[in-house]
Amino acid sequence: MNKTIFRSVLLACCIVMVFSLAVTLFFLNSYFINVEFENLRAQAELTARAIDEVGLSYFDTYDSSVYRITWVDSDGSVIYDTAADESTMENHLDRSEIVTALTAGHGQARRLSDTLSLETLYSAVRISDGSVVRLSVTQASVLRITLGMIPYMLIVLALALVLCMFISKRISARVINPLNNLDLDNPLENDTYEELSPLLVRIDNQNRQIAGQIDTIRTRQKEFDAITNNMREGMIILNSSDLVVSMNTSAMKLFGGSSSNIGRNILTLERSPQFTKAMEEVKQKGRSEYFFERNGFVNRLIANQIQDDNSHVLGTCILIVDETEKVLSEGMRKEFSANVSHELKTPLHSILASSELLMNNLVKEADKMQFISRIHNEAEHLVTLIEDIIRLSQLDETKEFPREEVSFQEVAGSVVEALEQNARERSVTIEKDVDNLRISGVQRLVYEIIYNLCDNAIRYNREGGHVRISVHRNADTVELKVADDGIGIPSEHLARIFERFYRVDTSHSRSTGGTGLGLSIVKHAAMVLGGQVEVDSREGLGTTFTVSFPADLLC
């Protein structure tokens, strides 16, 4: 800016200087030449008159230092010259001033010397005898004067240079200052040069565009945050140098980080060897995955490289998925199938062994009946077991059961009827205290619940024990209770008794003929009906199972 101004100002200075010099020289020169001519003419006329009167003898006294006088005859031959030998001089009839003087009585001319540095003025006057007297004077030419002025001009130029520098500095400062003080946030409110308004209008437009774009980006960021923060999965995004760009709340909770980790290296958040290895693997293979346990949850960490279209690495995306349930249910499934095969195998082995003995006639006639009844009992047990499994899988598979009106009194009555024989065999008394309540439910499932609870209560009882079935209405629930005063369940087993095939005492259960599935069925059936099962038991004193249904199921 400063330089440009300086250059233009200097250029303007120089141009003005040259032109003004030229004009001045031109005018002064022509003026002085005119004056000189007039002088010369006056002198020429005086000389002419003198020569006219005294003839050649005039020259005897003439001092030739100022003017050169040439006397030319009318035929052009030189009669006398004060500066040269007239005999060597050529005919002067071709000189314009002589020609004019011969015809008009006076003529003048001006001629530059060969070097251009000198010029000569001539003034010729005709005298009475027809010859011409010419006076000439030689002086420095305009060019010479100009050349002589150059040193002074250089001094002036140097002055101009300094002045230009000063001025350009001032000007640029004065021009720039308001520009620097422009309020670019509100460009239209500036009070500055008019010439700037197109720029300011454009800036204003761009400002608005930028603000709009920032707004869009911010909204998107908010949406992104809202989405990721509501994710149960942890998500972390890293840039190409492993700095955290974004991290959702789940990830923060899992790794114990805070927003201060954003912008810092991921290692400040998690530094386990497993993790650093995974990060290295991502860099090499583009993907890494591993399971880890934290705070009692099993998590799967998946790290993926993010690449753009030109397969240029932009960063890494880390996803942490809670797999606890999956791992647990996988374990439970494995255990279940192992249990099922075990439970099915045991009676079959017994049947096989007994039947083989019978087949090979290795059994005494008297014992045959005993073996046959063992085969029968085991087969019966197998059937019960398979029925239980089928029931359970039905419960697992069926999502919706058609609802009907179920009367607790009726169901409890048929359960007692079905189990009376069993109870009598073990000398257990069944008591009923069932209110006349009806709920909207599934008859078969309510039956399963009461049947299995009572069956257990009888099975795990002692001689002369009691089982009491009661159904009452509470404030907002209907409570079905099956209580016994039998052997009870040790407290350490209470949490697990609803698991499939779980048994408190395996040897005892087998002898009593249970399948280990009863309570699973109860829990499942209650869940399907919308109820909850609770258990309260003291070892040696008895057990109470409470199934509570919400009161709004009541009909």
Partner 1 sequence: MTRIKFTEQLSELNNELIQMGGLCESAIDTCVDALLNNDQSLAPVVSRREREIDEKESEITGLCMKMLLHQQPVASDLRQISAALKMVTDLERIGDQADDIGEMIVYTASHHLDEHSLIEKMGAATKKMVRDSIDAFVKQDIRLAQSVIKYDDVVDELFISIKKSIIEAIDKKTIDGEYASDILMIAKYFERIGDHAVNVAEWVEYSITGHHRKDEENA
- Residues at the interface with partner 1 (CB under 8 A): 242, 265, 267-268, 271-276
Burial of 259 (0-12, 13-18, 19+ CB in 10 A): exposed
Query: What would the DSSP string read from start to end of 461-475?
Result: --TT-EEEEEEEE-S
Token pair listed for 217: 């980006």
| Contact in structure between 487 and 448 (CB atoms under 8 Å) | no
Distance CA 99, CA 106 (A): 9
Q: Which amino acid is at 32?
A: F
- Rounded to the nearest 5 degrees, what angle is found at the Cα of 419, between the Cα atoms of 414 and 420? 95
Q: How far is the CB of 241 from partner 1 (least distance, A)?
A: 9
Q: How far is the CB of 283 from partner 1 (least distance, A)?
A: 13
Distance CA 463, CA 484 (A): 12
Which lies closer to partner 1 via its Cβ, residue 256 or residue 540? Answer: 256
Which lies closer to partner 1 via its Cβ, residue 260 or residue 436? Answer: 260
Distance CA 237, CA 141 (A): 88
Q: How many CA atoms lie within 13 A of 474 on its CB side?
A: 12
Report the 10 Å Cβ neighbour count for 244: 22
Residues facing residue 521 across a β-bridge: none
Distance CA 550, CA 437 (A): 13
Which lies closer to partner 1 via its Cβ, residue 274 or residue 373? Answer: 274
Distances (CA, A) of 540 to 263, 436, 489, 518, 543: 63, 32, 8, 21, 9
Report the 10 Å Cβ neighbour count for 362: 10
Q: How far is the CB of 495 from partner 1 (least distance, A)?
A: 22
Distance CA 343, CA 337 (A): 10
- Helices assigned H by DSSP within 230-362: 249-255, 273-285, 324-359
Indicate the DSSP class of residue 86: G
| Contact in structure between 10 and 160 (CB atoms under 8 Å) | yes
From the list 263, 216, 213, 215, the residue with the least C-alpha distance to 236 is 263
| Contact in structure between 80 and 59 (CB atoms under 8 Å) | yes
Distance CA 448, CA 432 (A): 17
Q: Give 475's contacts (C-beta < 8 A, 6+ positions apart).
A: 551
Distance CA 302, CA 352 (A): 51
| Contact in structure between 73 and 85 (CB atoms under 8 Å) | no
- Helices assigned H by DSSP within 286-364: 324-359
Which lies closer to partner 1 via its Cβ, residue 240 or residue 272? Answer: 272
Indicate the DSSP class of residue 549: E
Report the 10 Å Cβ neighbour count for 80: 18
Which lies closer to partner 1 via its Cβ, residue 242 or residue 479? Answer: 242
Q: Give 76's contacts (C-beta < 8 A, 6+ positions apart).
A: 91, 92, 93, 94, 98
Which lies closer to partner 1 via its Cβ, residue 294 or residue 333? Answer: 294
Which lies closer to partner 1 via its Cβ, residue 273 or residue 402? Answer: 273
